């Protein structure tokens, strides 16, 4: 008897194929999205991403949302091919909803991690063909452990817990080094930061990444364009508004440049 509640398995039984190999696209420049980061702060987890999507050396779009809500208490930040990542998020969103409605309870945090890994593993042919690689960061609130958690993945679906922080995308080498420095010698751990302090660090980190990585978009104050920053606490996912980011950027980032 088939266990109820697995929406992804239901899709496969209906003939849905995810991540089919696309050798025909070999040699073409596909749109990719970078850069994303997540780290713990005092009340939960902050997840942020710049807005730029590129194809080769071309800037294709500067208003990409790379931090996508899956349910009330979890998000997936995406680095890689947006088309594949958005499809993954849609499958996960409906899978979690299907489980909730059929089992009359939320899917466990461990179950959510397995679901992300399963999609990435089934996407391996497209990832290896170079047409559908996604290297996400998954963050959410684990009610069983009563803690916010961060996990990052490789393109094959292996998962790793980012105990304090995780980064992905072309700007990640710059950010990873700064995060390590801040968390080790910054006076106090990142996890002790307030929400505003965490947001200031995220803005500074993405601005630093944009300085050294052309695929990472910076802040454009003329068009009121700022990174996407979302926080996850026991109360759920919340988006930090542009007005707040603008105030923090002008007072704590530009002022110190």
Q: Which of 32, 34, 35, 84 is catalytic?
A: 34
Helix (H) or strand (E) holding 105: none
The half-sphere exposure of 52 on its side-chain side, counting CA atoms within 13 A, is 23
Which residues have C-beta within 8 Å of that of residue 44, sequence separation ≥ 6? 141, 148, 231, 232, 233, 234
Report the candidate in 206, 237, 233 with the shortest Cα–Cα distance to residue 220: 206
Structure tokens at 35: 């850069």
Q: Beta partners for 159?
A: 153
Which residues have C-beta within 8 Å of that of residue 199, sequence separation ≥ 6? 46, 229, 240, 244, 245, 248
Distance CA 191, CA 42 (A): 5
State yes or no: is 34 an active-site residue: yes
Structure tokens at 70: 């899956």
Structure tokens at 47: 């997840």
Task: Using the structure block, give the residue that is written with the tokens 């679901």.
Answer: 115
CA distances from 59 to 55, 114, 184, 214 (A): 7, 34, 35, 9
Residues annotated as catalytic are 34
């Amino acid at each position: 008897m088939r266990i109820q509640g697995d929406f992804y398995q239901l899709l496969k039984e209906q003939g849905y194929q995810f991540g089919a190999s696309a050798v025909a696209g070999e040699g073409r420049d596909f749109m990719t999205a970078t850069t994303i980061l997540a780290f713990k702060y005092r009340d939960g987890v902050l997840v942020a991403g710049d807005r730029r999507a590129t194809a080769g050396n071309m800037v294709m779009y500067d208003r990409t949302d790379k931090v996508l809500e899956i349910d009330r208490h979890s998000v997936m930040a995406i680095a890689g091919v947006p088309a594949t990542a958005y499809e993954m998020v849609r499958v996960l969103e409906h899978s979690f909803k299907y489980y909730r409605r059929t089992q009359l309870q939320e899917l466990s945090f461990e179950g959510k991690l397995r679901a992300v890994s399963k999609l990435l593993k089934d996407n391996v042919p497209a990832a290896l063909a170079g047409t559908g690689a996604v290297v996400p960061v998954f963050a959410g609130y684990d009610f069983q452990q009563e803690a916010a958690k961060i996990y990052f993945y490789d393109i094959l679906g292996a998962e790793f817990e980012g105990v304090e922080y995780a980064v992905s995308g072309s700007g990640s080498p710059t950010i990873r080094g700064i995060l390590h420095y801040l968390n080790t010698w910054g006076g106090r751990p990142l996890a002790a930061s307030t929400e505003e302090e965490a947001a200031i660090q995220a803005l500074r980190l993405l601005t630093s990444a944009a300085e050294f990585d052309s695929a990472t978009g910076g802040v454009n104050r003329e068009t009121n364009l700022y990174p996407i920053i979302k926080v996850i606490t026991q109360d759920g996912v919340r988006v930090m508004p542009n007005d707040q980011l603008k105030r923090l950027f002008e007072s704590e980032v530009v002022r110190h440049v």
